[in-house]
Structure 1
Amino acid sequence: MILPIVAYGDNVLKKKAEEIPVNTPLSELIADMYETMYNAHGIGLAAPQIGKSIRLFITDGTVLEEEPELKDFKKVFINPIILEETGDIWTMEEGCLSIPNIRENVSRKENVHIRYYDENWVLHEKTYSGMAARIIQHEYDHIEGILFVDYLPPLKKRMLKNKLLNISKGIVEVEYRMRFPMAAKARV
């Protein structure tokens, strides 16, 4: 089932998500998240983006064919903990399904060492690099209540203020279902 993606301005996107009790059945939710993400042409989706404040995110970087390290990068991360971020800092343009039509440069470290459960509640501890690390860091930020625009310098944030407010009000063109926190107020 395709779920609406929560837009910028919703409180669920700013809250630190709750840990999920081990062995909680999640297969239906995970399937819905993948369907929602694919419908929106995303490469990652965190549970807060569908209005659920739980520590779960999914990724599928396999569509980025120009990135060979993402060939098998379709993963489910349950209760992840980033243990370490290492390497050089590299800057790249990022976007977000919850903040449509805005892309900005974000600086992140090139490697991430993470512990997480997969969809079968098997515990993993692994280091990811490059684009895989960036996708993980971006989605992990969501379960920590952080958005990529939070990394922008104050001047850049001020320049985007009206665009972000319009997204909150639903004054934005998107090709996927969204839930806008201020849409009702915008129509009054």
Structure 2
Amino acid sequence: MKTLNDLLQLGDPRLYEVCEPVQENELPMVKEWVADLHNVMEEIRAKYKFGRGIAAPQLGIMKRLIYLNLNTPSGSVPYIIINPVFENLSEELFELWDDCMSFPNLLVKVKRHQSLTIKYLDENWQPKVWKVEGAISELLQHEFDHLEGILCTMRAIDNQSFKWRPTPDSN
């Protein structure tokens, strides 16, 4: 089982690599990869108090796999996203301070598309289509970038778009 110590940190050359598609014969391994992604996300949440999604390459799994765990009024909802493709990216953009588990104390101001459609395969290799906007659109763009070897530091609006995350106990 992978742990927080296995999370690749800013500067690791693997974070800048384009990932390979998951092959159907690798589907049995997806369950193990997702368990690792979930475990590390829970450790990040406990330590840094954030985390809704993680991409496989952040654990050195160089595959096109994203794991989301979203809190909803009815509870926690996991999403396993295999070989995603984006369509219908909105022209409308919005700015936000992005964070990343691979450099948890740094925030980066970026622009993201307000909405998009994502096509992907689920954990049963079934095709899915999901139209998203706002916070989920931003989250998926961030995680998809990891699959392309792109970090939010590379999408900074300008050279003043960086700041340290306030510690949870600071006012």
TM range (shorter): 0.7 to 0.9
* Residues 37-83 of structure 1: CA deviation (Å, up to 9, x unaligned): 11111211101100111100111121xx6xx7x97653111111112
Match of 1:52 in 2: 61
Runs (4+) off by over 6 Å? none
Q: Which has the higher contact order (CA 8 A, sep 6+)?
A: 1
Residues 135-172 of structure 1, C-alpha deviation per residue, up to 9 Å, x if partnerless? 11100000011000101145337x78xx9xxxxxxxxx
Query: Map of 1:1-188 to 2, 5 A cutoff?
Result: 1-3=1-3, 4-24=6-26, 25=28, 26-41=30-45, 42-62=51-71, 73-153=77-157, 155-156=159-160
Contact 2:81 2:122 in 1 (8 A): yes
Identity of aligned residues (%): 30
Distance 2:127 2:33 in 1: 19
Alpha-carbon deviations, 1:58-114, whole Å to 9, x = none?
11121xx6xx7x976531111111123115211111110101200122111111111
Query: Which of 1 and 2 has greater Rg?
Result: 1
Partner residue of 1:186? none
| Contact 2:33–2:56 (8 Å) recurs in 1 | no
What SS does structure 2 have at the residue aligned with 1:40?
helix
Contact 1:18 1:54 in 2 (8 A): yes
3-state SS, counterpart of residue 106 of structure 1: strand
For structure 2, the 5+ residue unaligned runs are 46-50, 165-171
Number of aligned pairs?
155
Name the CA shift for 1:73/1:107 in 2 (closer, same or farther; >3 Å): farther
Q: State the Cα RMSD in Å.
A: 2.2
Q: TM-score, normalised by structure 1?
A: 0.75
List gaps (5 residues or longer) in structure 1: 164-188
C-alpha contact 1:33 1:45 (8 A) present in aligned 2: yes
Partner residue in 2 for 1:176: none
- Paired residues of 2:95 and 2:109 also in contact (CA < 8 A): yes
Aligned counterparts of 1:60 and 1:50: Cα–Cα separation in 2: 16
